Chains A and B, each alone.
Chain A
């Protein structure tokens, strides 16, 4: 398995093109829930793309920080899909997304404190036991914090990743969005993360609502996030990087062009690091 390279997230509006021409990047990230237990076009796209690229299964509904019991059917289907396409990573988010059996279809923040950490470590371990492999956990964009939080997010994440022996998906855009919304230093955030735990990186765009930024994956990566990415690469070294879009979607070539831009910027950051 490669530990470097670049890629994009798979979007349904590109499926026909992907079936026809495949991919020319090293990595493809599939939103897990769009491919679980289903056939038709999504399944065919995954089979086609895996001939060209390594696949990452990126979930949004595991609710790692939630209190509802894990859904055994979800894990069975995820494990089967992972086996079928030989996915390189299974990732999901540092959040909760269900309460009392009701799904929020969103990534809700967790309090950062010892109670929460103890719960998270047990949940990540349980998820990993069910899957038979390490999870990769992504930092989310946040718009609010809990009064009960008494740890910084990097400290919380570092402890979680170490105690649960999990990997991290560093979403650089999420770091930037949260830093603006909650008022912290994004450079210090990245510097405080455990370097050896980061498995891959997300880049994306966001919307500026004046009082706050919204992580909508609907615009090109902005200059500030590119600068933060260069800082992350300088610290982490070469790291697989995925460009994510969910709204105002560009063409497949547009997406690939932004991925190539990430490749160029990574190369420059690595050169600067070596100098």
Chain B
């Protein structure tokens, strides 16, 4: 009797490869209505169709930019290289941004942006949202910012922003903040000064160091505090937490 491991491995080969390898076909029954190969093809078609569709739903702007058939070809090449390893269908696309950087570089930025949006959409809810009124002025400068789980920053090019109808000044690279506010995913092109401060804050540097990353003149200090105020308004901040002493 063929062991279960061989049967399941050969079923997998039947689903992944067209035509089904002959030795794998031998485990399955067919009849006059449908051969075993035709029966296995039902599963194979569902496997590829479902996952290509899932990629199309996860990356709608990429599908639009590439066109249906080129997108399907890219998706199939990607799925051959990266079979899904997570139980959730949207995670089928988790390595597509890196794959696109190699195989469709003109669309890699758009791909990164769409993936960041998906991650923001499915991320956990924040435990709380910090408010200006809740800030303890005695520890503000020495605390660090804990951001909401949905917030990420992604580097994109002009084409990615155009796909989302984002107006933008000419630049080579744009850093875009992506987050979810209640149920809606939002994105915002960051000015370089704010992007640098946000990167610093996300590494866990104290608030004082984040604010000091701006010019030390009066205008710089004003901009730094206005930025912190905007982070609170956008609901990016879960809490200000004390930095444990080492």
* Residues of A near any B CB (own CB < 8 A): 33-34, 36-41, 43-44, 60-61, 66-67, 71, 74, 96, 99-106, 108, 111, 113, 115-116, 119, 143-148, 181, 183, 211-212, 214
Contacts and interface: CB of A to CB of B under 8 A. Distances in A.
Contacts of A100: 9, 12
Chain A to chain B: the 6 pairs with minimum beta-carbon distance, closest first? A39-B125, A61-B87, A144-B39, A102-B83, A99-B12, A103-B84
A209 B8 CA distance: 26
Interface stretch (B43-51, B154-162, B205-213, B229-237): B43-51
A67 B123 contact: no
B85 A101 contact: yes
Contact of B183 (A40, A74, A111): A40
Nearest to B86: A103
Interface centre among B28, B36, B87, B125 (most CB of A within 10 A): B87
Interface centre among B8, B83, B180 (most CB of A within 10 A): B8
Interface in B58-117: 83-89, 92
Nearest to B31: A183
B4 A104 contact: no
Given A44-B183, A211-B38, A33 B15 contact: no
Interface centre among A43, A104, A183, A214 (most CB of B within 10 A): A104
Given A40-B125, A106-B15, 4 more contacts: A39-B124, A105-B47, A105-B50, A108-B15
Given A103-B87, A105-B51, A212 B34 contact: yes
A212 B7 CA distance: 23
B122 interface: yes
B40 interface: yes
A104 B29 contact: no
A98 B182 CA distance: 34
Contacts of A102: 12, 83-85
Interface string B105-140: 000000000000000011111100000000000000
Contacts of A104: 12, 15, 47, 84
A16 to B, nearest CB: 9
Interface string B1-12: 111110111011
A103 B26 CA distance: 24
Interface centre among A61, A115, A119, A143 (most CB of B within 10 A): A143
B42 interface: yes
A144 B24 CA distance: 13
A37 B47 CA distance: 25
30 contacts: A37-B124, A38-B122, A39-B125, A39-B149, A66-B8, A71-B87, A74-B87, A99-B8, A99-B11, A100-B12, A102-B83, A102-B84, A103-B85, A103-B87, A104-B84, A105-B50, A106-B15, A106-B46, A108-B11, A111-B4, A143-B40, A144-B39, A145-B29, A146-B28, A147-B27, A148-B7, A211-B33, A212-B34, A212-B39, A214-B42
Contact of A43 (B42, B47, B51, B125): B125
Contacts of B196: none
Contacts of A37: 124
A108 B43 contact: yes
B54 interface: yes
A38 B88 CA distance: 11
Given A99-B12, A103-B84, A147-B28, A40 B4 contact: no
A41 B28 contact: no
Contacts of B30: 144
A115 B1 contact: yes
Nearest to B45: A214
Nearest to B16: A102
A105 B9 contact: no
A144 B29 contact: yes
B183 to A, nearest CB: 4
B178 to A, nearest CB: 14
Nearest to A116: B4
Contact of A40 (B11, B29, B86, B122): B122
A183 B126 CA distance: 52
Nearest to B1: A148
Contacts of A99: 8-9, 11-12
A36 B33 CA distance: 41
Contacts of B89: 33, 105
A100 to B, nearest CB: 7
A36 B88 contact: yes
B27 A96 contact: no
B87 A143 contact: no
A248 B245 CA distance: 58
B56 to A, nearest CB: 14
A131 B36 CA distance: 37
